[in-house]
Amino acid sequence: MTRSVELPLWLLVLILLFAAVTFASHFLFPSVRWFFRRRFERAVTRINRRLQRPIEPFKLTRRYDMIQRLIYDPEVAQAVARHASDHGIPDNVAFEQARRYAREIVPSFSAFAYFGLAIGAARWLSNAIYRVRLGYQDKAALQQLDPDATLIFVMNHRSNMDYVLVTYLAARRSALSYAVGEWARVWPLSRLIRAMGAYFIRRKSRDDLYRRVLATYIRLATQGGATQAIFPEGGLSLDGALAPPRLGLLKYIVEAGARDPQGRDVVFVPVALNYDWVLEDRILTSAARAGERRFKARIGVVMARILRQFWLWVTGRYHRFGHAAVVFGRPLSLRDFAKSTQAGDPSDNPAAGPAGPQAEEGGLTPLLAQELLSRIGAAVPVLPVPMAAWLLLRHGAMSAELLTHHMKQLESQMAPVSAQHHSLSLDSAGQEAIRILLMRGLVVREKGQLVPVRAKRELLVYYANSIAHLVPQAPLGLGEGRDAASARGVSASAKS
């Protein structure tokens, strides 16, 4: 027992390494995890004191635990069995495929990343690029929302800055969980987005197993009270107008609300956004012209624009890109909407909104989608550049003074809630709009007149479309909110 044993140095090092790992895994790591877990819980408690709606326990669940809960859900298990039978593969292969889908979807929320990094970065970036304005249609109703209800922010999609703006402006209300498309599944961006609580979705997947895994996650999140943010249009607007709703995510949320064992209500908060300058407007209008939604912004072009703006800032010539406005519309309770829809004929129910092509499918979801889009449209902020663009398309070339006069007239004809979202006087707003339009080459000065540039007309149409549905009688036909109708309206305006 006391004899000396001679070992090679490499073997001694290996034994000591295994011993250190064993000691750490059994004694040190649990203590360290407990220490950081306690610090994390204290930090979350401090954050919850200043939030109107505390972070839900669902969002704080460990990602591994949530993945396990998701893949062992009875509905997912049934979908795995069907998938294996339909494709003639073993159950364990189908199960592993469901696990991959779950790992792809489930976020890894970090309160530090969200409230320590994301909020600060969103605040700085938003105010560096735009003059940010916030408005409410019914602030009292928002403050009196049922604290136990699941909150769903439903937004129009104008720019990728939408994520940044709403994250910043909703920072005092709650932590949002976004449904993010495949564009963001790029390392290391994907890690940051997951840490902010966003979940990835494949918008055009035809795999029944994937859709069941996604639907189950949304059901668990909705029934767990997680505050979410979705874009019912399903993608960025290519023509500036509101697009017809896509029902996928909304349908999953409605089904989850109807089956909630706790009887938790789901409350939708319409959020309307608008900009004087959408950073991707040229990319979007080019995609609309090509009739193809798949578009890419080359990283070289993006970096060149960033460097140019930095140089303008260094040389004291930097100007912000006009206004960006966010308006929180009138909230809508899913429970109340379902009761009002069942109480009478949906065709006679004003809450149903205008009938769309998907309303023929029947059921509650299409009616709800139309109502939410209607509320979003009614809350869209009217900003200087969209007003100027609409007027230049309507009246043609005019002087700066006449443009400002028409802007005042147009504002007086619109709903007060929609029109008042810039802090400048209309004289200053007209000057700001003219500065941006001239700088971007959308108009030129000729003999004291502001003349729209024909080659840039599609950009004027893009901005005019964002408010055209709010203009009384929409004389150009732009208010129809469809690509073809908008194009017909603008081509007609060229002759007027």
Residues 342, 198: one domain? yes
Kindly tell me if the per-residue pLDDT of 475 is higher than 70. no
Q: 271: closest CA among 406, 174, 195, 362?
A: 174
Is residue 142 within 8 Å of residue 257, measured between CB atoms?
no
Q: Read off the pLDDT band of 356 (50, 70, 90).
A: very low
Note whether 475 and 356 are same-domain residues.
no
Residue range 62-91: mean pLDDT, rounded: 93
Question: Are 487 and 405 found together in one domain?
Answer: yes
Instruction: Out of 2-11, 216-225, 375-384, pick the least confident.
Output: 2-11
Give the whole-angstrom CA distance, residue 186 versus residue 90. 31
For residues 143 and 265, membership in a common domain is answered with: yes
Mean pLDDT (whole number) for 79-94: 94
Residue ending a domain, among 339, 364, 379, is: 379
**Range of weakest confidence among 93-102, 292-301, 403-412:** 292-301
Final residue of a domain: which of 363, 379, 395?
379
Of residues 203, 211, 296, the one with CA closest to residue 246: 203
The per-residue pLDDT for 279 is: 87
Q: State residue 231's pLDDT score.
A: 92
Report the CATH number at residue 269.
3.40.1130.10
pLDDT at res. 455:
93
Distance from C-alpha of 2 to C-alpha of 17, rounded to nearest angstrom: 24
Tell me what pLDDT residue 269 has: 94
Mean of all residue pLDDT scores within the chain: 80
Give domain status of residue 78, yes or no: no
Task: Give the pLDDT score at 290.
Answer: 84
* pLDDT over threshold 80, residue 358: no
Q: Is residue 74 part of a domain?
A: no
Q: Which of 31 and 241 is assigned the larger pLDDT?
A: 241
Residues 359 and 449 in one domain: no
Count of structural domains, the chain? 2
**Is residue 140 included in any domain, yes or no?**
yes
The mean per-residue pLDDT over the stretch 250-267 comes to 89
Residue 474 pLDDT more than 90?
no
- What is the rounded distance in angstroms from the CA atom of residue 125 to the CA atom of residue 104? 28
3-state secondary structure of 333: strand
Neighbours of 304 (CB within 10 A): 11
Q: How far is CA 97 from CA 105, 208, 364, in A?
A: 13, 12, 32
Mark whether 352 and 455 lie in a shared domain. no
Residue 394 sits in the same domain as residue 413: yes
| pLDDT top residue among 17 and 72 | 72
Coil vs helix vs strand at 265: coil
User: Does residue 45 belong to any structural domain of this protein?
Assistant: no
pLDDT level of residue 91 (50, 70, 90 thresholds): very high
Residue 430's pLDDT is 83
Three-state SS string over 29-88 comes to HHHHHHHHHHHHHHHHHHHHHHCCCCCCHHHHCCHHHHHHHHHCCHHHHHHHHHHHHHHC
Radius of gyration of the chain (CA): 26
Whether 355 and 489 map to the same domain: the answer is: no
| Whole-prediction pTM | 0.80
Tally Cβ neighbours within 10 Å of residue 230: 24
Answer yes or no: is 226 within a domain.
yes
pLDDT at site 171: 76
Is residue 357 located within the same domain as residue 416? no
Structural contact between residues 421 and 381, judged by C-beta atoms closer than 8 angstroms: yes
Residue 328, domain extent: 111-279+322-379
Q: Same domain, yes or no, for 162 and 149?
A: yes
Query: What percent of the chain shows pLDDT beyond 70?
Result: 78
CATH number of the domain that 468 lies in? 1.10.10
User: Left, alpha or beta for 152 (phi > 0: left; psi -120 to 50: alpha)?
Assistant: beta
Is residue 404 in a domain?
yes
Long-range contacts of 485-493 (CB under 8 A, 24+ apart): 486/239, 486/240, 486/241, 486/461, 487/461, 490/393, 490/457, 490/461, 490/464, 493/393, 493/394
pLDDT, residue 296, reads 57
Structural domain ending residue among the three candidates 348, 379, 410: 379
pLDDT value of residue 386: 94
Residue with tokens 């193809």: 292
The span from the CA of 137 to the CA of 330, in Å, is 6
**pLDDT at residue 80 greater than cutoff 90:** yes
pLDDT in tens, 365-374: 999 999 999 9
Lowest mean pLDDT among 129-138, 295-304, 321-330, 350-359: 350-359
Cα 402 to Cα 184, 270, 395, 444, distances in angstroms: 45, 35, 10, 15
Q: Beta-strand (E) ranges in 345-475? A: 443-446, 449-452
For residues 343 and 466, membership in a common domain is answered with no
In a domain, 407, yes or no: yes
Lowest mean pLDDT among 88-92, 310-314, 399-403: 310-314
- Looking at residue 458, what is its pLDDT? 94
Averaged pLDDT, 350-360: 37
pLDDT bracket for residue 480 (50, 70, 90): very low
Helix axes 63-71, 208-223, angle to 10 degrees: 120
Segment 62-83 shows an average pLDDT of 93
- Is the pLDDT at 214 greater than 50? The verdict is yes
Answer yes or no: do 374 and 388 share one domain.
no
Q: What is the pLDDT of residues 405-450, one digit of tens each?
A: 888 888 877 755 454 444 456 667 788 899 999 999 999 999 889 9
Say if 101 falls within a structural domain.
Answer: no
What DSSP character marks residue 20? H
In the chain, the percentage of residues whose pLDDT exceeds 90 is 37
